[in-house]
Amino acid sequence: MLWLALSFPGLPIEALPLRQPPSAVVVRGRIMQGDVEAVAAGICPGQRLSTALGLLSTLSVFERNEARERQALESLACWAGRFTPTVSLVQPNELLLEIGACIRLFGGIEPIVGAVTAGCAEQGHAPGWAVAPTPLGARWLARAGSGTIHRKAVSLHAALADLPCHIPDWPAEAMTRLESFGLRRLGGLRDMPGSGLRQRIGNRPVDDLARAWGDLPDPQTAFAFPEDFAIELELPSRVEHAEALVFSGQRLFSALAGWLNARHLLLRRCTLRFRHDDAEPSDLSLRLAEPVADEARFLRLLREHLGRWQLPAPVEAVRLQADELAEKTGASVPLFEGAASGEGHLACLERLRARLGERAVQTLDAVSDYRPECASRERDAVIASRSPANNASGKPATPPGSARPLWLLPIPQPLAERAGSPDWHGPLKLLSRAERLETGWWDSGEKGATGDVRRDYFVARNPQGEWAWIFRNAEGWFLHGLFA
């Protein structure tokens, strides 16, 4: 096994949504952590708050919020599911990713590490990291900011031996005794007899050394990806324009894509809830034409919707919830890599619906009725894309060999008759034999129904070469459709 450890030492600061530099987190009146600007001004952990304010009067001070830190770490764990399903969360600020089984999928260890660190940076986090065969060894190296990859135990042992003894964060009593022994590095501590160490500093440090070096098994508790996905993100500042919410949406969809990958699920529909300053929350529902787990596709669809979205008030927080999910089925990978495909007609359909409105993008569904006005009906394009449209009887709605134009007039247009022939931009030449339709008695007299019809249909052409679909009944000639 091979573990990628991520340590987030700045999580108390990074988890604060409304933070403006310079800022610091305090616990019981003392500085716990400051951001880059605060550290540059001489503010350090353990200082009294009064001293810190004396050094930097513009310092923004926040109480530590462990709930926000825990939520941010769990969000990162969900996001990490895109790389491996084996993720372990170590409180208060560390993640472990087992990447040994994913190396070939990503093309090596370096691409995985690069993608993970780049993704953390996009979400506003700057972790220390390390890769090692033992989870505890990887955590210690990441905590020290090693940024190194150790594939073999020999390399790991050499790196661990050079670490300071304060890295494992053992009890203060054990650290005091180690200092009295004159031990500064883990390598020197490792060389001492284990039985004597247990009597002097306790069992935990000795057992930790054995686990880090790989002498004792070190099973990890896997992070339990939640059954339902719902995550909220407080914004660093109030957002007044909908287009500016794309960045926060990217962070939310990153976590969603990782959760979907780890749970082997696909998304059909999700809801973004915007929490406003002084207005009721507003919801934006994103419905996909097919179940997918593609973060880029989620973002493209979000951009289209936000381009038309009018915010009733400034937004202070965004909540993403997965509403409809589908199981992810297995698929065969082609032996030879083919040409890159486009986004596909379903993705294009989603964007058209987002840009023009759902009612503006419809499809036609065939109906078992010989009357042209009743032979088709509008159908939701997304629903139609999921399954082939069939009529009630399962038979074709039109008889074989019959000609039907794609464009039907909403109301048949009466035609003039000259010299015994219908006229439409000139005399019409009949190109087909009569097709008689005499049906519809079952809904005669009903309000809004077409009723019984008795018509003879013809395909005709005028002198300009335009093809028309006309019929004759007891009232005369009528134009009913046009051919392309």
Pair of tokens at residue 425: 């931009």
- According to the model, what pLDDT value does residue 385 have? 58
- According to the model, what pLDDT value does residue 407 have? 85
Q: Which among 98, 76, 79 has a CA at the least distance from the CA of 87? A: 98
Residues 6+ apart with CB under 8 A from 88: 95, 96, 98, 135, 220, 221, 222, 223
- According to the model, what pLDDT value does residue 18 have? 64
Please report, in angstroms and rounded to a whole number, the separation of the first and last CA atoms in the chain. Answer: 64
> What one-character-per-residue DSSP string does 275-304 give?
EESSS--EEEEEEEEEEE--HHHHHHHHHH
- According to the model, what pLDDT value does residue 448 have? 67
- According to the model, what pLDDT value does residue 394 have? 44
C-alpha separations of 474 from 421, 428, 455, 477, 478 in Å? 15, 19, 8, 9, 11
Pair of tokens at residue 280: 């009721």
What angle is formed at CA 210 by the lines to CA 207 and CA 213, rounded to 5 degrees? Answer: 150
Which domains, and CATH codes, for the chain? 3-16+65-213 (3.30.70.270), 230-327 (3.30.1490.100), 366-482 (no CATH)
Distance CA 260, CA 324 (A): 12
Q: Which among 22, 27, 21, 25 has a CA at the least distance from the CA of 12? A: 25
Residue 201's identity, in one-letter code, is: I
Q: Which among 390, 381, 309 has a CA at the least distance from the CA of 348? A: 381
Q: Using CB atoms within 10 A of its CB, is residue 77 exposed (0-12), middle (13-18) or buried (19+)? A: buried
What angle is formed at CA 250 by the lines to CA 249 and CA 254, rounded to 5 degrees? Answer: 115
- CB environment 218-229: b (16+ within 10 A), e (fewer): bebeebebeeeb
- What are the residue ranges in the chain where pLDDT is below 70? 18, 330-344, 381-402, 448
* CB atoms inside a 10 Å sphere around CB 42: 12
pLDDT by residue (tens digit) across 195-204? 788 888 889 9
- According to the model, what pLDDT value does residue 70 have? 93
Q: Which among 237, 245, 269 has a CA at the least distance from the CA of 256? A: 269
Contact 160, 141 (CB under 8 A): yes
Element (H, E) at 118: helix 109-122
Which residue shows structure tokens 């604060």? 16
C-alpha separations of 141 from 1, 157, 208, 279, 343 in Å? 17, 11, 14, 48, 42
- pTM comes to 0.73
- According to the model, what pLDDT value does residue 257 have? 93
What angle is formed at CA 91 by the lines to CA 89 and CA 94, rounded to 5 degrees? Answer: 60
Contact 239, 315 (CB under 8 A): yes
pLDDT by residue (tens digit) across 270-279? 999 999 988 8
- According to the model, what pLDDT value does residue 16 have? 83
- CB environment 444-454: b (16+ within 10 A), e (fewer): eeeeeeeeebe
